[in-house]
Structure 1
Amino acid sequence: MSTILETEHLKKTYLGKKTALYDVSLKVESGRIYGLLGPNGSGKTTFLKIIAGLIKPTAGNFKVCGKEFGIDTKKIVAFLPDKNVVYPWMTSEDAINFYADFFEDFDKNKALEMLKFMKLEPKQTVKTMSKGMIEKLNLSLTFSRASKLYILDEPLGGTDPVAREQIIKTIIKTWTEESAILITTHLVSDIEHVFNDVAFLKEGEIVLEGDAEDLRTTRGKSIYQIYLDVFGA
């Protein structure tokens, strides 16, 4: 097992706004699925955008596979944002070709296999898809890259129970010993069973972190119940 992601004292303050992240330090190891948990506005998306290279931290640093952030790290990080990234006029097939042109590590055959698994039609346009179908398409595109770190921002958001189950199965199916998956979510009860490690992010700070099974054992509660305790629901 090797360290895929390591952050040290990450901080982000937006100009004229409150600080979104305070001194966030964590490690994500290979072969692990890591859940970054917290309500909306807790700093989860800001954290992922920093790791994806979309925004810069105000302070602190991070490494991916032992490398400082740069072109080399961006090549081995696959980011699924919480918004659709595919044009409405595109078909699923168009989206696959677009990704294949954009990312050197994209596997078209794997993407087509994932479409079948997700029960998506190659010729259907994005504008005629439901939110759940669009989420499954974006997930298929993300996981068809040969990345070391997959970061997923609220992959279950706005989807129905059937779509959620397919998405969770895809996450499990994609898991390998050589890569790591970092997932942010507030829909903890639906997905907690896939997490190896979790961290609870509250108002930009990690207030609890650890091996998911150890936390369940020591506290005698599910991760969802611990989530309710931490965030006062």
Structure 2
Amino acid sequence: MNAIEIHKLNMSYKHKVLNDLDLNLEYGQIVGLVGENGTGKSTLLRILAGLEMTYKGDVKVNGEKPGASSKSYVSYQPDKFSLDESLSVKETMDTYKLFFDDFDDKKFKTLLADFKLPFDSKIKEMSKGMKDKIQIALSLSRNAKIFLLDEPISGVDPSSRKIIIDAILKNFDENSLLIISTHLINAIEPLLDRVVFLSDGKIFLNESVDYIRDEKKMSIEDYFTEVF
């Protein structure tokens, strides 16, 4: 069974965002979801996370339609900060433990230490980059089957990106699937097993990173620039 199976997915707001999109992804890989702004990357992740239900088409996550039950094994991080900033980091952790049975507080504390983040500080006292790291730590601390990270490193400085990328690699379970949506292709390329290019609401390319490097003799960013 594939981790994700999508057939003829259509989604419209004022205009069509996703257009007869087809996509199959297996477990055991880290996938980069890339494309120009407005191509539907965030919408696609929201559908997979079970947060957007007004689409048309067939979408299966671990064999079932995204919804309330799939949220128990899908860890989703939105592109905008979504936590209650009046809480402390510890209180935020305790909230996640209440909502998600698979949340690992020991893993979370280890990630906090790796990111050099305080445990008792209020979220509102932190910089944007620190808040982004908190969200990443929370998302990665679930023992989920599927991880959906929407622009997880856009708000952090270049020196912190390596720490985050190392943390993702260190905590990735080879029996899971991790999808990263980003425009910082060069920064995440060392992470990726596969890249999915989204254009005009369709999958323009779904290929292994090794194929692009070996056959096209290009980096992912160079190939993306040439294509788009």
Fold in common (TM above 0.5): yes
The answer for the alignment partner of 1:86 in structure 2 is 83
Deviations 1:126-165 (A, max 9, x none): 1121111111100111111111000000011121012211
The answer for the alignment partner of 1:63 in structure 2 is 60
**Is 2:35 the partner of 1:12?**
no
Map 1:153-168 → 2, pairs under 5 A: 153-168=150-165
Map 1:187-198 → 2, pairs under 5 A: 187-198=184-195
**Is 2:51 the partner of 1:51?**
no
Letter in 2 for 1:133: M
Deviations 1:34-53 (A, max 9, x none): 11101221110000000011
Letter in 1 for 2:143: A
> What SS does structure 2 have at the residue aligned with 1:54?
coil
User: CA RMSD of the aligned region, Å?
Assistant: 1.3
Number of residues of Structure 1 aligned to a counterpart in Structure 2: 228
C-alpha displacement of 1:212: 1.0
The answer for the alignment partner of 1:224 in structure 2 is 221
- Seq. identity, %: 37
The answer for the alignment partner of 1:136 in structure 2 is 133
CA distance in 2, matches of 1:173, 1:210: 24
CA distance in 2, matches of 1:177, 1:208: 23
**Is 2:96 the partner of 1:99?**
yes
Deviations 1:179-211 (A, max 9, x none): 110111111011112111111111212112211
Gaps of at least 5 residues in structure 2 are none
TM-score normalised by the chain length of structure 1: 0.93
Gaps of at least 5 residues in structure 1 are none
C-alpha displacement of 1:57: 4.6
**Is 2:32 the partner of 1:35?**
yes
8 Å Cα contact 1:91/1:125 also seen in 2: yes
8 Å Cα contact 1:31/1:175 also seen in 2: no
8 Å Cα contact 2:81/2:132 also seen in 1: yes
**Is 2:110 the partner of 1:113?**
yes
CA distance in 1, matches of 2:55, 2:103: 32
Pairing partner for 2:198 from 175, 188, 201? 201
The answer for the alignment partner of 1:181 in structure 2 is 178
Where do 4+ consecutive residues of structure 1 move more than 6 Å? none
More deviation, 220-229/200-209: 200-209
